Amino acid sequence: MKKLIETIRNIYKIEDLRNRIVYTLGIILIYRLGSYVVLPGIDPNMLAQLQNQTSGGLLGLLSMFTGGAFSNASVFALGIMPYISASIVIQLLGMAIPYFQKLQREGESGRRKINQITRYLTVIITAFQAPGYIRGIIIANLPPEAIAPFDPNAASPSMFFWLSSIIILVAGTMFVMWLGERITDKGIGNGISLIIMIGIIARLPFALTGEFLSRMEQQGGGLVYFVLELVVLMFVVLLTILLVQGTRRIPVQYAKRIIGNKQYGGVRQYIPLKVNAAGVMPIIFAQAIMFLPITIAGFVSSENMSAFAAAFSNPYGFWYNLVFFTLIIIFTYFYTAITVNPNQMAEDMKKNGGFIPGVKPGRKTSEFIDGVMSKITLPGSIFLGLVAIMPSLVVNLGVNSQFAQFFGGTSLLILVGVVLDTLSQVESHLLMRHYDGLTKSGRIKGRTAMGMG
């Protein structure tokens, strides 16, 4: 406790860090307030039916990512997920289209162009998803008076209602994206990831309360069962932290150096290769793909598409979890290939006079590092996939669906990853100014890359 109080004092002493934290909290407050601003023309007092329908399943997961804005019919209802989808498309294009590969090699100027293209694509994706969301509200069995069609004699919402709602939803998503970029530039960093994390945390008190009340009911297991669930949850959290921080070290021997008239032997160091170099991005990418059936079903009314959407809208079903698990493994390899460049690592070692014992410098070193990454990425991706589908397993054991989302899954991995990244950045500010870090020994290990800013 004394260490914590001293750390808080040190944070307060650093003016730049203090201002960044206050700025970030202000942006988060704006985001949370916006999640309760209901779309014009919708009666906020009659949204109970919509909130019930989005309390579980895939819609419940989407509502959690938006901090409840989805179930509140808020101007931020679509949240940041369209931007995530746009980022996936752009990164995939970067592997296949020479123009995007050229932009990636142009440094800062290329990055700005890619960000601009991503923003344009976000507008297009949001404009595509918004009508499906509005149609979902209309057919959500809400009372007719809950949706004002701006014409008291009309039997359904007017065209003006549709157009205005689509424009507002697009503007809301772009505003949320802008808030995330402000946190990245002027706050404590990881803006987009932090926006998602705040939405998840906002749902945690409701999930805990709901699970506690269900256990207190007759034959619900009682307080002992609830405490046991919390113990299991903490164990899963520890396993998730190990997954995020786990590394394998490759020994590197640096050449002998002569300083003055004295000759020193080689310096032995290690290159830490992460078991999960991709962080939580494979889960975010895969989850964004799994939201597509709901969007498509909003436009297509055929029975076959409805059955397909139903099968892939149940996050506790077999086919949903099988596809989700497979996508996570694929995206883990994909994102690791983007973030870890064996050729560059081998070249840097060669320039610094370093080599891996028993491996020739240059191409052989690059192949060795690539082989090691492939071997450690496979178990890392499988473990990541198992953690992601764990909520579906605990639901079958009787855990409340909202609380189950925190037993692993996308929610827990994002929470752990973003919290570690944020603490790592705060600790860097402290260490740069010669203050003690957040831990007594060692440094907090954040993820190598978050990708979303």
pLDDT digits (tens, 9 = 90+) for 360-376: 888 888 888 888 888 88
- Written as tens digits, the pLDDT of the chain (453 aa) is 566 677 777 777 778 888 888 999 999 999 989 888 888 877 777 666 666 666 655 666 666 667 677 777 888 888 888 888 888 788 778 777 888 888 877 878 888 898 899 999 999 999 988 887 887 777 665 666 666 655 555 556 777 888 888 999 999 999 999 998 899 888 887 888 888 888 888 878 877 887 888 777 755 667 787 888 888 888 878 877 777 676 767 777 665 544 444 444 455 677 777 777 777 778 777 877 777 776 666 555 555 556 666 666 677 778 888 888 898 888 888 888 877 888 888 888 777 777 787 788 888 888 888 888 888 888 888 888 888 888 888 887 777 777 777 776 667 777 877 887 788 777 777 777 665 555 555 555 555 434 455
Q: For the chain, percent helix, then strand, then coil, each to nearest 5? A: 65, 5, 25
Sequence spans of domains, the chain: 18-187, 204-281+316-453
- 34 vs 175: CA distance, rounded Å: 10
Question: Cα separations (Å) of 388 from 66, 333, 366, 400, 411?
Answer: 19, 16, 31, 17, 9
What is d(CA 421, CA 419) in angstroms, rounded to the nearest whole number? 5
Question: Domain 18-187, what fold?
Answer: Preprotein translocase SecY subunit (1.10.3370)
pLDDT at residue 295, as a whole number: 63
**What is the predicted pLDDT for the residue at 124?**
92
Question: Cα(403)–Cα(393) distance, rounded to whole angstroms?
Answer: 12
Name the CATH topology of 204-281+316-453: Preprotein translocase SecY subunit (1.10.3370)
DSSP state of 354: E
Q: Which residue has the tokens 């009314």?
A: 301
Cα separation, 446 vs 69, in Å, equals: 29
Q: What is the DSSP letter of 271?
A: E
d(CA 346, CA 349): 5
Residue reference for tokens 């003016």:
15
For helices 191-216 and 57-65, give the axis angle rounded to 10 degrees: 130
